[in-house]
Amino acid sequence: MRITLSLPMTLEEIAAAIGCACAEEKKSTLITHLTTDSRMVEGGDLFLALRGERSDGNNYLSNAFASGAAAAICERATEDGTCLCVPDALLALGALAKHYAAKIPHKTVAVTGSIGKTTTKEFLRCVLAKKFRVHATLGNHNNEIGLPYTVLSMPPDTEILILEMGMTGLGEIEYLSRIALPDVSIVTTIGTSHLERLGTRENICRAKMEITAGMDDGSLLLLQGDEPLLQAQMNHPLAPKSCSYTKGDYTLENLSTNESETFFDASLRTVRLTDCSIPMAGKHAAMAALFALATAEHFGMTEEEMKKGLLDYRTDALRQNKSEHTLMRDGESLHVTVIRDCYNAAPESMRAALDVLIMTARKAGGRAVAFLGDMKELGETSDELHFSVGAYAAKSGISLLVTYGESAEKIADGALANGFLAENVITLKGTDASHAAQALLLRLKDNDTVLFKASRAMQVERVADGLTNQ
């Protein structure tokens, strides 16, 4: 990746920020771009030599300098060009991002959670942009590399910076929070993703609550008040506020949803918003919107600004993306609705997606077909949690269940154990996308609605593409 520094910095300033020496004759060199990929280096760039699982940027210093790099932040010096040597280039990236952020007067909103953090981040972006100049995490750049990149690409006129924070283990969100120094932090929920690494939901909660590490007294901490593990955090020194479906500081009321929209009233701390609507189906979507409204109220936005901002939300290509297609099978045309919800999956989001599937199928007037793949990072509880999704699917009202992958076989087991007919289950043990698309096509009927849902590693969008590109 190559990013533009909206506020250029001299090598002297960069060296001071990351705690290393800089040759006297190079101190005034002005840096406007930074890249971690030696193949993308252009003349005058700062090359950041990161060590990864598969490659070590320090091995490509000569390539970077040959392409015109003005300097490199690295862990091993070379005579090929100007080196800013540090013990750990990744920590240097974080330090540089923190220094850069301090140059721009702004407020920071940070979001984490097992599920719903990207949806919440996008609602925040849409709502807050009705009053402020906003810069937000792009895509899923929410880790120890992506977050600093988001910060370093922040325009100088930014008023609110919105950062998504992900993690794989303890300590990671604390590190990100100390870079970001959030004025508002949101924990959307505590789910079951990362059980493989962290062992218990209690540990997942501990990891998510690390978001408070960089917060000062008086900052706003918003927690999902219907989650018992987060309810137990309400005595935190930052005096958290709860966002809830039932009873809390901010609540949803009169909630209803159809296949493409959700409607609700929202009671905030100083105002009650009526007749709110969002262009996304599901109770979980309304909670993401409530987090955005609570934040907007904190920053002094009007009722009109908040409600208009909610309407600007748009799903991306892999999150609850609905499209209609005409498929051909042996000369017969089939009209189907496809829901691509392929970005990631956990038991909680699987159940929410099945609810949306049922509503969409009812509107289309045909069957509900669930194509469900493996959920990753569930550890020793994987079989149990996949089984529970199958049990939910059996009772949800779907007509056909297709499982994709080894772990997903337990979804089929859960459905069969809860009365789902074996003739309505297809178990695909391999992950051949073309074969899966063909197997699914053979069982579809006119006006079917098909949900594709699995963890990102399963790439079930390839099956959806194979089906719709017949």
Asked whether the beta carbons of 353 and 284 are under 8 A apart, the reply is no
Question: If you ran DSSP here, which 8-state letter would residue 116 be given?
Answer: S
Tell me if 368 is assigned to some domain. yes
Render pLDDT for 374-426 as a digit per residue (tens, 0 to 9).
999 888 889 999 999 999 999 999 999 999 999 999 999 999 999 999 999 99
Same domain, residue pair 250 and 123: yes
Tell me: do 53 and 126 sit in the same domain.
Answer: no
Q: Are residues 238 and 293 in the same domain?
A: yes
| Mean pLDDT on 341-349 | 86
> What's the pLDDT band for 450 if we cut at 50, 70, 90?
very high
pLDDT per position as a tens digit, 263-316: 999 999 999 999 999 998 888 899 999 999 999 999 999 999 999 999 999 876
3-class secondary-structure state, position 40: helix
Q: In this structure, are 299 and 349 located in the same domain? A: no
Q: Residue 348's pLDDT is what?
A: 87
The band of 49, judged by pLDDT with boundaries at 50, 70 and 90, is very high
198 domain-assigned: yes
Q: How far apart are CA 24 and CA 187, in angstroms?
A: 46
Q: Which of 59, 88, 117 is the last residue of a domain?
A: 88
Identify which has the larger pLDDT, 128 or 257.
128
Measure the CA–CA gap between 182 and 295, rounded to whole angstroms: 12
pLDDT of the residue at 316:
65
Q: What are phi and psi of 172, to 5 degrees?
A: -75, -45
* 376 vs 406: CA distance, rounded Å: 11
Q: Are residues 159 and 58 in the same domain?
A: no
- What secondary structure letter does DSSP report for 72? E
Residues with Cβ within 8 Å of residue 450, at least 6 apart in sequence: 336, 337, 338, 339, 369, 370, 371, 440, 444, 464, 467
| Contact criterion met (CB below 8 Å) for 46 and 82 | no
> Is 96 part of a structural domain of the chain?
no
- Kind of pairing, strands 134-136 and 107-112? unpaired
CATH number at residue 60: 3.40.1390.10
Checking if the pLDDT of 40 tops 70, the result is: yes
Read off the pLDDT of each residue in 218-231 and give the average, rounded to a whole number. 95
Instruction: Check whether residue 267 and residue 120 sit in a common domain.
Output: yes
Supply the pLDDT for residue 331: 82
98 found inside a domain: no
Query: Both tokens of residue 57?
Result: 């940027």
Write the CATH number for 216. 3.40.1190.10
Q: How confident is the model at residue 177 (pLDDT cuts 50, 70, 90)?
A: very high
Say yes or no to pLDDT of 319 above 80: no
Check whether residue 279 and residue 145 sit in a common domain: yes
Mean pLDDT over the full length of the chain:
93
Helix, strand and coil percent figures for the chain, each rounded to 5: 40, 25, 35
Q: Per the domain annotation, does 99 fall within a domain?
A: no
Q: How many domains does the chain have?
A: 3
Residues 76 and 121 in one domain: no
From 311, 334, 363, the end of a domain falls on 311
Q: What domain range is 387 assigned to?
A: 321-468
What confidence tens digit (pLDDT) does each residue in 66-80 have? Answer: 999 999 999 998 989
Asked, for residue 428, whether it belongs to a domain, the answer is yes
Q: How far are the Cα atoms of 132, 140, 314 from residue 318, in angstroms, in the given order?
A: 28, 12, 12
Residue 126 has pLDDT above 60, yes or no: yes
From 88, 122, 150, give the residue that closes a domain.
88
Mean pLDDT calculated for residue range 319-323:
81
Q: How far is CA 88 from the centre of its chain?
A: 27
Q: Are residues 274 and 331 in the same domain?
A: no
On the question of pLDDT at 470 being above 70, the answer is: no
Q: Supply the pLDDT for residue 413.
A: 97
pLDDT confidence of residue 317: 57
* 165 domain-assigned: yes
Q: Report DSSP state, residue 88.
A: -
pLDDT exceeds 90 at position 430: no
Determine the average pLDDT of the residues in 148-177.
95
Confidence of residue 199 (pLDDT cuts 50, 70, 90): confident
pLDDT tens-digit map of 237-246: 999 999 999 8
